[in-house]
């Protein structure tokens, strides 16, 4: 074997060992890329959930408003009947009782619609808070991925460690989204 060939083999061996020392970095980058994708999907789904719940809450508030209008109309009609003289007292009492029953129904329906709308708005707030956590997690994981990739360019493992710290913060942020209620 000639000197040139021996030197070339030695350089190849050194280059190969240097590349194998970067395998954990490359593997970490692959895992981080998957985590970014999963977190992105979870964030998008949570944002969609918040929008759908907000639409339901808006519909419920519209229903509340409709019940409120009916209740006010019933109250006005009952007030009007109380000042109008009706010759048939039995018929007048029957009509007033019917309006009183309607008013009781509207009052019950108003409370139910308000409670349902408030519950839906609470769901919206929770979904938005979860979506914010997923968005933060996505950003931190992407930052971690980029910082980790700098390791491949510089061959300095300090970037790998910084990338891992950022990514760990992203995983914690994503996990914390499930503890919100």
Q: What share of the chain is helix, strand, coil (3-state, %, to 5)?
A: 90, 0, 10
**Contact (CB, 8 A) for 29 and 150:** no
pLDDT of residue 12: 52
pTM for the structure as a whole: 0.72
pLDDT of residue 140: 97
- Residue ranges of domains in the chain: 26-179
Tens place of pLDDT per residue across the chain (181 aa) = 455 554 554 555 455 545 667 889 999 999 999 999 999 999 999 999 999 999 999 999 998 998 888 888 888 877 777 777 777 777 777 877 887 887 888 888 889 999 999 999 999 999 999 999 999 999 999 999 999 999 999 989 999 999 999 999 999 999 999 998 7
Task: Calculate Rg over the CA atoms of the chain.
Answer: 34
* DSSP assignment string, 81-121: HHHS--S-HHHHHHHHHHHHHHHHHHHHHHHHHHHHHHHHH
pLDDT of residue 9: 47
């Amino acid at each position: 074997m000639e000197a040139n060939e021996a030197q070339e083999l030695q350089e190849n061996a050194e280059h190969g060992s240097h590349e194998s020392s970067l395998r954990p970095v490359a593997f970490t980058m692959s895992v981080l890329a998957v985590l970014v994708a999963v977190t992105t999907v979870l964030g998008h789904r949570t944002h969609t959930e918040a929008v759908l719940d907000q639409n339901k809450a808006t519909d419920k508030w519209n229903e509340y408003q409709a019940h409120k209008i009916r209740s006010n109309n019933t109250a006005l009609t009952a007030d009007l009947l109380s000042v109008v003289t009706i010759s048939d007292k039995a018929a007048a009492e029957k009509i007033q009782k019917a309006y009183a029953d309607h008013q009781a129904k509207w009052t019950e329906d108003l409370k139910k619609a308000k409670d349902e709308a408030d519950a839906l708005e609470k769901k919206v707030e929770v979904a938005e808070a979860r979506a914010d956590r997923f968005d933060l997690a996505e950003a931190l994981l992407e930052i971690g991925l980029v910082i980790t990739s700098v390791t491949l360019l510089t061959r300095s493992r300090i970037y790998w460690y910084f990338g891992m710290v950022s990514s760990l913060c992203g995983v914690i942020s994503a996990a914390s989204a499930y503890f919100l209620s």
